[in-house]
Chains A and B, each alone.
Chain A
């Protein structure tokens, strides 16, 4: 027991040191990748809440990232601080996510996948076609980076630490949420909705909440994606991003707290590792996803757990 805790603490310290110190040695490209990883991790953590903990499949997470990104881009280019864009993005994410939760009350599983998939494409069409608001296909350029507590984040390193800080806050918030009665209600929802109902859990309310909060976290990620890339147009927020986020959650380990972080790291780094293979990396990634699903239903984080459990078993 203590051995396990010690190992966990050691692993945690190692990751923390990596996240804090490694960037000091990186060039702007490496910093960009790490910032992107942080943003994707946040978006995937939101989806993990909806999918992994509450068991509601959503193929619209990419659209929520888009909603957050547009909210932030529109407000900050109009001279507002990023905080305002963040609030607007999260507010919109909550609202639209809540609305999207309604179909989940009526239909399940594959139907829900289609409803959310349809919703994702509808959001994309609105972003593209309503150019009076969004700039349409021309997008929004020159999105400023925020000033945090008096420090400008124009330098890639400063912006990375900003992303990391947001990731930390989101992780903390979600961790607390999952330990609260709400979190336990979400898991009860996933395990057995009927039983949850009989235990007096308002499944209707918690389903909507799972969608709304998970989506709002996606929008939050979008609101820091916009100042990261400094130019947005509708194309990154089409269905592809939603699918990619879904695969990240599954590969990392759905319903595992650190799953999204690992899944996002693989998605960001795999093309780097497989540079020699050029176009092959997507093929290998797809194969990896299938292998994980067939052999490791609890994802790579689950594999790590199992391996450490086995190591302990042998040590005994």
Chain B
């Protein structure tokens, strides 16, 4: 029993990270129909901004983290939108898919070349130590991950649902034409979602790197799993993507423990293919009206 609880809690802690990444992914898709195949590398990169700040510039951790956030907003938010998405989106989804694959390679290889090919330890947010939950063990770091990610998700939901700006962003996401007519500056709203995505991946990066170390190729698995989470949960609903993140984290752990460790990745992929074929809008998504 304590084993089941252990797997569940560990799955939720990892799932919280997937949820953050998947939420950003879904946001981008909703507001701009941009699909980001480099999302995993987006999560990998900010940790190296922080490391460059602490190791190269000798900055204290929190200053370096702020610097990392700033760089992420600039490069992964603004620049990414202006240089990659804006020119390519009018050509259709496919060129964006291919270009973001290339962006992923670019980020990964650059980190390897200019920082290090080796995994790097990353400063922990909390002191070491564990707490006991009914026989299962959670590290303080796990608790912090769950708490921070949970708060971030809550804050984002409140922002999108309760503030004027958030509602304008949602309106843009749901129907850009109507939003435009209503006088919402949709172009700026789209930019804001790119910035929000950059902030989400930075948060995910700082949360996950102390546990799983910072390495240039971390994005490969992380990006894939976050995609699966977003699609399984619901690509066009931030809420769905978040639920998908937790689900995928838990399914991964139980699958590896009780089904097959050889086919660990395969279990998630079969889940993905099944959802796409049987319920393409995702488990918690809403059906998308098809415009042809």
Stretch at the interface among B47-55, B157-165, B193-201, B269-277: B269-277
User: B231: which of A111, A122, A129, A243 is its contact (CB, 8 Å)?
Assistant: A111
Q: How far is the CA of A286 from the CA of B231 in the complex (A)?
A: 27
Query: Given the known A-B contacts A107-B280, A279-B113, are A247 and B292 also in contact in the complex, defined by CB atoms under 8 Å?
Result: no
Interface residue? A121 (CB, 8 A): yes
Residue pair A110, B84 in contact (C-beta under 8 Å): no
Residue pair A293, B262 in contact (C-beta under 8 Å): no
> Closest CB-CB distance, A10 to chain B, in whole Å?
33
Q: How far is the CA of A271 from the CA of B105 in the complex (A)?
A: 15
- List residues 233-289 of chain A with CB under 8 A from any CB of chain B: 243, 246-247, 250, 279-280, 282-283, 285-287, 289
Residue pair A103, B276 in contact (C-beta under 8 Å): yes
Q: How far is the CA of A111 from the CA of B97 in the complex (A)?
A: 11
Query: Given the known A-B contacts A111-B276, A283-B110, A297-B91, are A122 and B269 also in contact in the complex, defined by CB atoms under 8 Å?
Result: yes
Residue pair B88, A279 in contact (C-beta under 8 Å): no
Q: How far is the CA of A136 from the CA of B11 in the complex (A)?
A: 29
Closest to B37 in A: A113
Residue pair B93, A103 in contact (C-beta under 8 Å): no
Query: Given the known A-B contacts A103-B273, A294-B87, are A279 and B109 also in contact in the complex, defined by CB atoms under 8 Å?
Result: yes
Closest to A281 in B: B109
* Residues on A with beta carbons closer than 8 Å to the beta carbon of B91: 297
* Residues on B with beta carbons closer than 8 Å to the beta carbon of A194: 292
User: What sequence of 0s and 1s flags, for each residue 43-76 of chain A, a beta carbon within 8 Å of any chain B beta carbon?
Assistant: 0000000000001010000000000000000000
Closest to A278 in B: B113
* Residues on B with beta carbons closer than 8 Å to the beta carbon of A287: 102, 106
Interface residue? B144 (CB, 8 A): no
Closest to B264 in A: A125
Which of B231, B263, B269 has the most chain A CB within a 10 Å cutoff?
B269
User: What sequence of 0s and 1s flags, for each residue 271-292 of chain B, a beta carbon within 8 Å of any chain A beta carbon?
Assistant: 0110011001000000000001
Query: Given the known A-B contacts A103-B277, A111-B231, are A286 and B103 also in contact in the complex, defined by CB atoms under 8 Å?
Result: yes
Residue pair B273, A119 in contact (C-beta under 8 Å): yes
Residue pair B102, A121 in contact (C-beta under 8 Å): no
- List residues 172-186 of chain A with CB under 8 A from any CB of chain B: none
Q: How far is the CA of A250 from the CA of B95 in the complex (A)?
A: 9
> Closest CB-CB distance, B121 to chain A, in whole Å?
23
Residue pair B94, A57 in contact (C-beta under 8 Å): yes
Residue pair B276, A115 in contact (C-beta under 8 Å): yes
Q: How far is the CA of A229 from the CA of B95 in the complex (A)?
A: 33
> Closest CB-CB distance, A303 to chain B, in whole Å?
16
Tally the A-B contacts, defined by beta carbons under 8 Å. Answer: 102
* Residues on B with beta carbons closer than 8 Å to the beta carbon of A115: 272-273, 276-277
* Residues on B with beta carbons closer than 8 Å to the beta carbon of A294: 83-84, 87-88, 99
* Residues on B with beta carbons closer than 8 Å to the beta carbon of A155: none
> Number of A interface residues, CB 8 Å?
36
* Residues on A with beta carbons closer than 8 Å to the beta carbon of B94: 55, 57, 109
Q: How far is the CA of A279 from the CA of B35 in the complex (A)?
A: 28
User: A109: which of B93, B105, B113, B262 is its contact (CB, 8 Å)?
Assistant: B93
Closest to A116 in B: B273
Q: How far is the CA of A100 from the CA of B138 in the complex (A)?
A: 42
Residue pair A290, B262 in contact (C-beta under 8 Å): no
Q: How far is the CA of A280 from the CA of B99 in the complex (A)?
A: 18
Residue pair A293, B99 in contact (C-beta under 8 Å): yes
Q: How far is the CA of A293 from the CA of B262 in the complex (A)?
A: 38
Closest to B101 in A: A243
* Residues on B with beta carbons closer than 8 Å to the beta carbon of A129: 262-263
Interface residue? B120 (CB, 8 A): no
Residue pair B101, A114 in contact (C-beta under 8 Å): no
> Closest CB-CB distance, A142 to chain B, in whole Å?
27
Query: Given the known A-B contacts A121-B265, A122-B269, A282-B105, are A106 and B99 also in contact in the complex, defined by CB atoms under 8 Å?
Result: no
Q: How far is the CA of A115 from the CA of B231 in the complex (A)?
A: 11
Which of A109, A114, A115 has the most chain B CB within a 10 Å cutoff?
A114
* Residues on B with beta carbons closer than 8 Å to the beta carbon of A119: 269, 273
> Closest CB-CB distance, B216 to chain A, in whole Å?
11
* Residues on A with beta carbons closer than 8 Å to the beta carbon of B5: none
Interface residue? B266 (CB, 8 A): yes
Interface residue? A12 (CB, 8 A): no
Residue pair A106, B227 in contact (C-beta under 8 Å): no
Q: How far is the CA of A247 from the CA of B105 in the complex (A)?
A: 11
User: A118: which of B95, B112, B269 is its contact (CB, 8 Å)?
Assistant: B269
Q: How far is the CA of A286 from the CA of B102 in the complex (A)?
A: 5
Residue pair A247, B227 in contact (C-beta under 8 Å): no
* 13 other A-B residue contacts (CB within 8 Å) besides A106-B277, A115-B273: A57-B94, A109-B92, A109-B93, A115-B276, A125-B262, A125-B266, A250-B98, A283-B109, A283-B110, A283-B113, A285-B105, A286-B106, A294-B87
Closest 6 CB pairs of A and B: A286-B106, A118-B269, A289-B102, A286-B105, A282-B109, A286-B102
Identify 20 residue pairs between A and B in the complex whose beta-carbon atoms are under 8 Å apart, listed by A's number.
Answer: A107-B276, A111-B280, A113-B37, A115-B272, A115-B273, A115-B276, A118-B269, A118-B270, A119-B269, A121-B269, A125-B265, A193-B292, A243-B105, A247-B101, A279-B112, A280-B109, A283-B105, A283-B113, A286-B106, A293-B102
B residues bordering A, Cβ < 8 Å? 35, 37, 83-84, 87-88, 91-95, 97-99, 101-103, 105-106, 109-110, 112-113, 224, 227-228, 231, 262-263, 265-266, 269-270, 272-273, 276-277, 280, 292
